[in-house]
A and B are shown apart, each in its own frame.
Chain A
């Protein structure tokens, strides 16, 4: 308990807040790594997932590759890449992107796959173009799962970005690694708590954003196909198979 209080004391000591190695500076770095990785991962993963989901082609290949990617040990991978490229932000971003793409892919293609085929057929039959079907029918209906994938990936990236500290970068993981190296466990614990708090905060923000992004009728669980029973279903803010972090 003393250790915990010490950690809290460290976190709330104004002296540790600012400065080049202060909490704020490392928080900003941590968010920067996370944001950059997620941006790259979204640009790769979401369109690919939508493509696979819309066309139904390449599903097996995508499943195989993303399962393999999920199984890669992030820490081992980053050292492997650093051996070739040297230290820098690049290797970190690469491994975080590899970590984030599978849940994004899974969210996008499983979201699209879950859209009722006869709804899509109807949309096409009344004269929607393929793009209109994608943007006006499939994506709105798949949004809970797509967004679930984004949330899941973001949490994994925030948690895993702590390894930045191992490879000469900063971020909140730096406290953890320094604390372990110096046997200053309050410092390590403070680092861990900060990462957890950041993850919870970001997830809360994303949960709020999700409400804005998901169309009303979808969020209210009103989008079941007429075939199905009339009983109201609970809101579906599903996460896509939250895989454990590979740290």
Chain B
């Protein structure tokens, strides 16, 4: 469990990145900080492993103030995955994955054996172990980054827009992979993104942030979608523009069992399964809104933030 207690961060240049932020991030769940550029979400993440120290307030991990120990020891106990992988370009993949265990004094043979297993875990061919990072594709590099983050078997995994720089198809792959990993490994994941779809897909707890890391809303994706707390949230998740509010398109003649759905602007958003042309449980009160996640509505939101 990670707890923020009235954390404020003012940078030397006067920027107030985080103002009086308090939140509990539950263990073994994925918490996603989502917001526009400059909202302080990355600052929040980097305060957890003391890459940035708060100006005031405190952060506790399982009840222990993180400022009490050494920053280096803290960082070595937390997995960190960033955009563009942050791999050491002069080291082979396997040495990159084994970096932190080796720093901690694990024997090279053991560290390498474990690194190989981690490559399996993140779905990378072992043949890539002796390549240099620049010889890998962007998606493969991110997988190596995740493997390195997992190498110390941390309880906490921090992910700073890890899939921001890969193409949409690879991003989908990596997101699915992360969901699978999280299902298997049960880490406390803190994930930063500006992509609300990604946040809703990955997050058990989604935190929508405004400037100064002010919490606009915190909740499960369902709660946020069903009840946006403010106009800002509604706008951010795309509800106000009708992107999340889907309707059955009556203009398309049906063939088969699927019914075409359109969003508020009239664009095709996906289909919904309706055996025999009847929506399951259809009645006046059924909101297609909440079903939107179960159909393929991933066509619009990518560049929303």
Contact = CB atoms under 8 A, between A and B. Distances in A.
Interface of A: 116, 118-119, 121-129, 132, 136-137, 140-141, 215-218, 220, 222-227, 230
B90 A118 contact: no
Contacts of B165: 227
Given A119-B89, A230-B134, A128 B103 contact: yes
B141 interface: yes
A213 B86 CA distance: 24
B132 A118 contact: no
Contact of B100 (A127, A141, A226, A230): A127
Nearest to A228: B134
15 contacts: A118-B86, A122-B88, A124-B75, A125-B86, A126-B76, A126-B99, A127-B72, A127-B103, A129-B72, A137-B88, A217-B90, A218-B90, A223-B90, A223-B134, A226-B84
Interface of B: 46, 49, 51, 72-77, 80, 82, 84-92, 99-100, 103, 132-135, 138, 141, 148-149, 165
**Most A CB within 10 A of own CB, among B72, B73, B148, B165:** B72
Nearest to A137: B88
Contacts, number: 88
A125 B90 contact: no
Nearest to B149: A126
B92 A118 contact: no
A57 B133 CA distance: 30
A218 B51 CA distance: 27
Contacts of B90: 137, 140-141, 215-218, 222-223
A57 to B, nearest CB: 14
Given A127-B77, A127-B103, 20 more contacts: A116-B89, A118-B84, A119-B87, A121-B51, A122-B82, A122-B86, A123-B86, A126-B76, A126-B86, A127-B72, A217-B89, A222-B132, A223-B90, A223-B132, A223-B134, A224-B134, A226-B85, A226-B87, A227-B84, A227-B165
A93 B134 CA distance: 44
Contact of B89 (A125, A132, A225): A225
Nearest to A121: B86
A217 B75 contact: no
Nearest to A225: B89
A119 B82 contact: no
A204 B91 CA distance: 27
Contacts of B88: 119, 122-123, 136-137
A132 B82 contact: no
A125 B152 CA distance: 13
A151 B82 CA distance: 37
A226 B138 contact: yes
A225 B92 CA distance: 14
Nearest to A214: B90
Contact of A125 (B49, B92, B103, B134): B49
A83 B73 CA distance: 57
A226 B85 CA distance: 8
B84 A125 contact: no
A93 B245 CA distance: 80
Contacts of B133: 222, 226
A227 B46 CA distance: 22
Going nearest first, the 10 A-B pairs with the smallest beta carbon separation are A122-B86, A127-B76, A127-B75, A223-B89, A222-B132, A217-B90, A125-B80, A217-B132, A222-B134, A218-B90
Contacts of B148: 126
Nearest to A224: B134
A122 B73 contact: no
A141 B89 contact: yes
A145 to B, nearest CB: 14
A217 B91 contact: yes
B86 A119 contact: yes
A205 B228 CA distance: 70
A132 B103 contact: yes
Nearest to A223: B89
A229 to B, nearest CB: 10
